[in-house]
């Protein structure tokens, strides 16, 4: 595949090809939840849910609408089911969506590229969430540009990234085939798209080969324009 050949050649392309992402996650769908939660100690959906509940913006709110971007098998929807009502999931992998459908958490599930979905979407949501998604997106500019289209006036955008310590904005990791992102670069894009930072928290995304994968959890809201 082009993406893997690029990794082996030590080069970087701006985004993982859709077919690579679809095939990769189709192959993991059957045991995805067990692999992430048990073997890789993946707890970002529950951590994010805890952080949402603690926000002043979330006080006394319930039945929020959720757009789950790169929803996979529905781990985010499970973690937030007590405060959300309408839930819409978007993912490239049909087999992952089948697992999400079995959980009966979503009103709608769409097999589509997340940026394409956001650009075409005619509705807005209280929450738009993309956990462990930008690591396969690479260039985050289209994601940021499209995200404002799907957020209500008081809506919140949340996502996680793998932290890149160098000044390279989003290098492709030779060992994993995933993208990491430079934090100042991400924050500058958020500011350019007129987002305010509600929460910025370093965390462990998962463990791999016994080592923690360092990441960042961000919750943003549209800046108030006076």
Residue 147 in contact with residue 205, Cβ under 8 Å? Answer: no
pLDDT one-digit tens code per residue, 173-208 = 877 888 999 999 999 999 999 999 999 999 999 888
Cα(44)–Cα(132) distance, rounded to whole angstroms? 9
Q: What are phi and psi of 208, to 5 degrees?
A: -135, 125
State the pLDDT at residue 7: 47
Cα(107)–Cα(181) distance, rounded to whole angstroms? 32
Whose tokens are 């932290």? That residue is 163
Whose tokens are 């609408």? That residue is 65
State the pLDDT at residue 165: 93
Which of the residues in the chain have pLDDT under 50?
Answer: 1-4, 7-10, 226
State the pLDDT at residue 32: 66
User: Residue 42 is encoded by which pair of tokens?
Assistant: 């993946």
Instruction: Quickly count: other Cβ atoms within 10 Å of residue 99's Cβ.
Output: 17
Task: Pick one of 3.40.50.10880, 3.40.50.300, 3.40.50.150, 3.20.20.450 as the CATH number of 2-222.
Answer: 3.40.50.150
User: Residue 93 is encoded by which pair of tokens?
Assistant: 């992998």
Average pLDDT, the chain: 87
State the pLDDT at residue 3: 46
pLDDT one-digit tens code per residue, 85-115 = 999 999 999 998 999 999 999 999 999 999 9
Cα(221)–Cα(117) distance, rounded to whole angstroms? 20
Close Cβ partners of 201 (under 8 Å, ≥ 6 residues apart):
51, 216, 217
End-to-end CA distance of the chain: 49
């Amino acid at each position: 595949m082009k993406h893997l050949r690029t990794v082996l050649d030590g080069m970087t392309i701006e985004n993982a090809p859709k077919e690579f992402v679809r095939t990769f996650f189709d192959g993991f769908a059957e045991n995805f939840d067990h692999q992430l939660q048990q073997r890789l100690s993946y707890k970002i959906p529950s951590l994010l849910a805890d952080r949402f509940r603690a926000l002043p913006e979330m006080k006394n709110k319930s039945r929020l609408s959720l757009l789950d971007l790169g929803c996979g098998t529905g781990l985010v929807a499970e973690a937030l089911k007590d405060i959300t009502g309408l839930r819409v999931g978007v993912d490239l992998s049909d087999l992952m969506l089948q697992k999400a459908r079995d959980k009966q958490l979503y009103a709608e599930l769409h097999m589509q590229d997340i940026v394409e979905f956001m650009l075409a979407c005619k509705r807005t949501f209280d929450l738009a969430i993309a956990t462990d998604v930008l690591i396969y997106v690479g260039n985050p500019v289209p994601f940021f540009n499209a995200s404002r289209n799907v957020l209500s006036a008081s809506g919140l955008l949340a996502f996680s990234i793998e932290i890149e310590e160098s000044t390279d904005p989003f290098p492709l990791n030779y060992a994993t085939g995933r993208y990491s992102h430079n934090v100042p670069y991400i924050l500058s894009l958020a500011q350019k798209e007129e987002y305010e930072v509600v929460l910025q928290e370093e965390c462990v995304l998962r463990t791999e080969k016994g080592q923690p994968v360092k990441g960042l959890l961000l919750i943003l809201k549209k800046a108030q324009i006076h």
